[in-house]
Structure 1
Amino acid sequence: MQIIGHGPAPGSGRSISARLRGFACLAATVLLTLAAPPAPARSPVPDADHAAAVEQEVLGILSYTRWPAEPPELRLCVVGSADYADDLLAGATQASGRPVRSRRLTPGDPRIGTECDVVYLGALGEAERRPLYAQLVDRPILSISERDASCTVGSMFCLQIEDTQIWFQVNLDSVARSRVRINPKVLQLGRRRTPAP
């Protein structure tokens, strides 16, 4: 086996044992580096720009949604720890002039299934998500999730929030099982909007 490296030129006086010690030190350094615990991942920092953009995205989705009986005001419930719902909680108005009244509810609150037209989900554990989704089945409730990268179970819309853009995925199964109707234009838009490579 031939090892090619950038050691000293022949005749430089460096012995083979000195070279082996150098390789041993290098190998030890690499092993210590690999064994060190990884640096903790940094969570995105919520800021006013993201909260305002999320509000606009949610209001856009609401404008393409129709309820069996259109309420004079939409009741939006924020459930779980949501990083970007501050502007929604401050109150909003749709372009049509219909107000959106928002409030926080805990994951186990029975009012979620009866007093919410829209449910905006933040961070929830699996044990909290499953019974919550059971409350939404066969009800005219639009569900939007802030933290659901896979978007395969539960929420109808899953916001994907990155440093420079906000886009959404659509869970067509959840849409089909819901009693609200979504304009096909927004469904096509959701399928097309994918993160930049």
Structure 2
Amino acid sequence: MIKYVKEYWMFVGIVLLVVLFVGMSFLHPHKKSSQTTTAPTEKVMKDKGASSEELPAETENEKNYRQAFLALERPYGSVHSSEKEKLSASLFQGLQTLTAAQTVSDVTGTVENHLSMTSQAMLETVGIAFLVNHYQVDQESLLVTPSKAEDVLQFLVVLKKENSPNAYLIGNWNKTVDQLQIVQIIGGDIGATYG
């Protein structure tokens, strides 16, 4: 036995140290650290409870705008004004062709109207918003932000209708091919489902 201990003295030393540390952790649990962490947590919870009473309730339009804004990849980024103008021209030309359609089934995405990258189901949903529910595009509300891809910009535009909650249209614009992809509509009384 002593012969093995002399040959493997380093291994035996490590095993003894591990056993010693494990034994010490069982004998001396860390009670003080758990007591000190619960007190600040309770204080923060009490502070948050008091401040939530002071905040005014969020309206449906504010909630939907916040949700749409945060759906963008880089909502706080900015883009050059010339790129925003190009996107704006393509977007409003594409949306104009949707509003000019006779029926929802006539709504299609083509290269000419810059909507070839948008799914047919989403085009029909936007068509329902314009043709059936008579929503109008608020051109002044256009927000353009960068995305994670170098050749893609993202946009958010508000659709308005009198006496109805706003709808928020979110999408991507590929700069290289000048095509739009409408991704999502948040809020509003659209009355359509897709997907």
TM-score norm. by structure 1 comes to 0.25
Q: Which has the higher helix share?
A: 2
TM-score norm. by structure 2 comes to 0.25
Compare CA radii of gyration and give the structure with the larger one: 2
1 or 2 for the larger relative contact order (CA 8 Å, sep ≥6)?
Answer: 2
